[in-house]
Amino acid sequence: MRVRYRSVIYFALGLIGLLALIAPAAFAQVGNDTGSLCPALINLALAQVSNNCANLGDNSACYGYGDIAAVTEGDSLFSQPADRATLNSIASLRSNPFNLDANSWGVALLNVRTSTTGTSVTENVKMVLIGDVEIENAVAPEVMITLPNEVPTLTTSNVSMLRLAPSANAGGIVNVAQGSQVSVIGISPDGEWLRVGAQNSSGWLSVDAVEGVGLENLPIISADSRFPMESFNFSTGTEVSSCVDAPPSLLILQAPNGAPATIEANGAQITFTNTIFLRTTADSEMEIIGVTGDATVGALGASMATTIRAGVSVTAPLNAQGRIAGEWSNWRVLSPSELDSFASLEALPENVLNAPVAIPAVLQISPVTDVPPVVINTPTPPFVPTPPPEDFPRPPLTVGVPGVDLPGSFPPFTIGGEVCPDWIAYHTDRTGDWEVFRLGGILNSVSENLSQGRAAADIQPSRSQDAEYIVFTSNRDGLTNWELYVGRADGSEQFRITFNTGVDINPVWGEGAAANKIVFESNRDANWELYVLDVSTGELTRLTDDPANDVNAAWKPDGSGIYFTSDRDGEYEVYELDFETGELTQLTDNNTPDVQPAPSNDGTMLAWLQLNDFGVYDLWLRDLTTGETRMLLDLGTDINLSSFAPSDRFIAFESNLDGDFDVFAIEVESLALKDATNNTFNDRAPSFRCNSDIIIYQSDTRGQWDIFQVDPNPINPEGPFQAPEALTETESTELYAMNLPSDENGSREGRLP
């Protein structure tokens, strides 16, 4: 039976002084009676923490109880219980394990501010070191936001909107009245926006809204800026105490009330909504344990991040430096005995937390009933834990080892004239592995499964202009040997078209003069190069030959050449390769990355993404007939996966502007911007139906990914907004749909290659 401690902590609070005086004598009298001594030490320690760390300030650490070793900078003192220090001055902390003989148990508390905007400036992520825990600040000095002891305040000279990002297009948080006092944290690199706290919220305010006194002395804040301990490395001891009531050593994290928080631990991005536990294991793994609310972990912004709910844990391997070195796996429901081992943590004093620690309970249901055998009971309604779907496959991107040609060939075939199919291709795991399916019927269809790779991953489809074939990437000939395959659109046939031990990925089928050609990326030359394969002859041609990485090709609409991205001058820039003349032209030339070239369907415009000084990607446009280049849109947050509508009237893209991803449309001429999906769900990976303004995309409206479509017209920020239509509603994960353009870029999610 689980012991609940919360009821006894209040009694302990009233007897702190008495316990402190009599505890050593009591321990000596009782001798080895650990059954009474362990709870007494736990209650004493937690009561002291309640007293020592009450009203802890923003961006601060508190020495709660036991032995805490701190590495500090400057004159900061952090050597005895109740000591406090700003996180600016703390390089690392180490708390000691539960030691009954020494009457000691290390407990330390940190109030960590995060760079998430739109949340209360008075609320912090709470971190509690319990037992044998070591934590060090991993925020690099050049990007660390160092808060002064007294944050400067300014007065607003007019009514202005506090925004989520430093852009007039960014979502609004609250209107700040004229004459309001705002606390100023820093300034954007372009000097146009202030990071401030106003009306109990944190966000960005135009410099025009304040009386500009002393702005030149403010720290510069970019998208990479972080507060102290917002990124950290940690480890925990694995020794099990002889005291059954003593919890294992771990790090407790709590998000601010009502707002998700994102931190980086050992290199892992973790977003959580309430309480999670972190620890490292004897097997050199990092473990995340869900306690209350949900947590997601994975590449920041990735669609297929792993979700951890209450009572569930996942692990990932650590390298010799203690950093994440592999995928998150080993999803499991904790046993009742494991959860019981955390029970004493429910007595953590609520006055130093964002919320009470409530350990979930696993309810074992009789298997003879219709109820699933395991239910997690939490303060919110009980739920049945279900494993997350398999991660979307990611081909290996390593370089340095040349590939070797393998024997093999395929029967040449010829692509017919351009047609506009009603069907679209998309990814699904409904067969138990990842396949490319067709959505929409065709004559004489054999199967809607176009890839049909058993126990393999089939991804990145691109269709031929006659809609008779798709080309895709598959690892069916070896988990690390990714090759290109072609499948008929009726599902009747699949065959291999590249034969090398290197990795061949991201195929794009050409149009017009290049209808028989497929361009793709390969690391067979020990770095990433572009190749083109003519399916009508079987001829393979290397297009680029440079020690740098040449990736992300897009066909010119008439098939006369390609646009691509290369880092051959030190930063990723956009290039054009003309097939007829062999001429290579560098289209962008600056000291910041330019990526994802996307030509218009009539070939007169080229869009791409450029990293700005703040550290996010803006949308840029070039008129290829005049050479005029302009920034089309700055949202203050990353723009991703831009593509022209078939009419070339507008460009669709995805962005996380207000806390969830949405699909947007911007008119090229008027610059009218519309959130086409306009909801609180994640809507991603836009593509188009050919000869139509209809956008196809993926959404997690039902709590899993499905394919949707929506008409963005009229492109007016005020609406009206058309109702989206769900195209798939199975129990499988279905995502990254494509029809036009023929390049399936959604599954990259911004990665290069």
Give residue 122's pLDDT.
Answer: 61
For residue 116, which phi and psi values (nearest 5 degrees)? Answer: -65, 130
Q: What's the CATH code of the domain at 57?
A: 2.60.120.1440
Mean pLDDT of 443-470: 96
Which has the closest alpha carbon to 517: 476, 573, 564, 558?
A: 558
Question: Does residue 39 have a pLDDT over 70?
Answer: yes
Give residue 386's pLDDT.
Answer: 81
Q: Are residues 199 and 118 in the same domain?
A: no
The pLDDT-based confidence of 9 (bands split at 50, 70, 90) is very low
Q: Are residues 560 and 618 in the same domain?
A: yes
Give residue 694's pLDDT.
Answer: 98
Question: Does residue 312 have a pLDDT over 90?
Answer: yes
Q: What's the CATH code of the domain at 553?
A: 2.120.10.30
| Between residues 351 and 120, the one the model is more confident about | 351
Residue that is last in its domain, among 327, 357, 387: 357
Rounded Cα distance between 96 and 133, Å, is: 7
Hey, what are 719's tokens?
């609406």
Rounded Cα distance between 535 and 468, Å, is: 13
Q: Are residues 474 and 456 in the same domain?
A: yes
Hey, what are 633's tokens?
């849109």
> For residue 274, what are the domain limits?
6-142+227-357
Give residue 13's pLDDT.
Answer: 34
CB 345 within 8 A of CB 130: yes
Q: What percent of the chain has pLDDT over 90?
A: 75
Maximum mean pLDDT: which of 150-154, 256-260, 663-667:
663-667
Give residue 16's pLDDT.
Answer: 38
Asked, for residue 383, whether it belongs to a domain, the answer is no
Q: Are residues 311 and 449 in the same domain?
A: no
Asked, for residue 416, whether it belongs to a domain, the answer is no
Q: What percent of the chain has pLDDT over 70?
A: 92
Q: What's the CATH code of the domain at 206?
A: 2.30.30.40
Question: Does residue 737 have a pLDDT over 70?
Answer: yes
For residue 596, which phi and psi values (nearest 5 degrees)? Answer: 55, 60
Concatenated DSSP letters of 603-627: SSEEEEEEE-TTSSEEEEEEETTT-
Residue that is last in its domain, among 320, 341, 357: 357
Asked, for residue 394, whether it belongs to a domain, the answer is no
Question: Does residue 624 have a pLDDT over 50?
Answer: yes
Q: Are residues 174 and 242 in the same domain?
A: no
Give residue 17's pLDDT.
Answer: 41
Among 15-29, 111-125, 149-163, 332-346, name the one with the lowest average pLDDT.
15-29
Rounded Cα distance between 310 and 363, Å, is: 13
Mean pLDDT of 103-132: 86
Asked, for residue 406, whether it belongs to a domain, the answer is no
Rounded Cα distance between 621 and 574, Å, is: 12
Mean pLDDT of 690-707: 95
Give residue 713's pLDDT.
Answer: 98
Hey, what are 382's tokens?
């009980």
Hey, what are 742's tokens?
């023929």
Q: Are residues 185 and 269 in the same domain?
A: no
The residues near 267 (Cβ < 8 Å, ≥ 6 apart) are 233, 323, 324
- Total domain count for the chain? 3
Give residue 35's pLDDT.
Answer: 63
| Between residues 300 and 331, the one the model is more confident about | 331
Q: Are residues 199 and 348 in the same domain?
A: no
The pLDDT-based confidence of 745 (bands split at 50, 70, 90) is confident
Asked, for residue 113, whether it belongs to a domain, the answer is yes
Q: Are residues 232 and 200 in the same domain?
A: no
- Give me the chain's average pLDDT, please: 90
Maximum mean pLDDT: which of 288-302, 353-367, 555-569:
555-569
Q: What single-letter DSSP state applies at residue 713?
A: -
Peptide bond into 356 cis (omega under 30): no
Q: Tens of pLDDT along 710-736?
A: 999 999 999 999 999 999 999 999 999
Rounded Cα distance between 343 and 5, Å, is: 7
Residue that is last in its domain, among 303, 335, 357: 357
Give residue 3's pLDDT.
Answer: 40
| Cα torsion 59, 65, 71, 72: sign | positive
Which has the closest alpha carbon to 307: 380, 391, 429?
A: 391
Asked, for residue 648, whether it belongs to a domain, the answer is yes
CB atoms within 10 A of CB 489: 20
Residue type, 529: E
Q: Tens of pLDDT along 629-678?
A: 999 999 999 999 999 999 999 999 999 988 889 999 999 999 999 999 99
Question: Does residue 22 have a pLDDT over 60?
Answer: no
Question: Does residue 8 have a pLDDT over 50?
Answer: no
What's the pTM?
A: 0.86
Rounded Cα distance between 179 and 277, Å, is: 43
Rounded Cα distance between 709 and 698, Å, is: 8
Q: Are residues 322 and 469 in the same domain?
A: no
Mean pLDDT of 35-60: 92
Any idea what the Cα angle at residue 292 is, between residues 287 and 293, rounded to 5°?
A: 100
Which has the closest alpha carbon to 576: 543, 612, 546, 601?
A: 543
Asked, for residue 682, whether it belongs to a domain, the answer is yes
Rounded Cα distance between 95 and 250, Å, is: 10
Q: Are residues 156 and 254 in the same domain?
A: no
Burial of 698 by CB count in 10 Å (0-12 exposed, 13-18 middle, 19+ buried)? Answer: buried
Give residue 234's pLDDT.
Answer: 99
Q: Are residues 591 and 547 in the same domain?
A: yes
Q: Are residues 194 and 55 in the same domain?
A: no
Burial of 24 by CB count in 10 Å (0-12 exposed, 13-18 middle, 19+ buried)? Answer: exposed
CB atoms within 10 A of CB 206: 19
Asked, for residue 377, whether it belongs to a domain, the answer is no
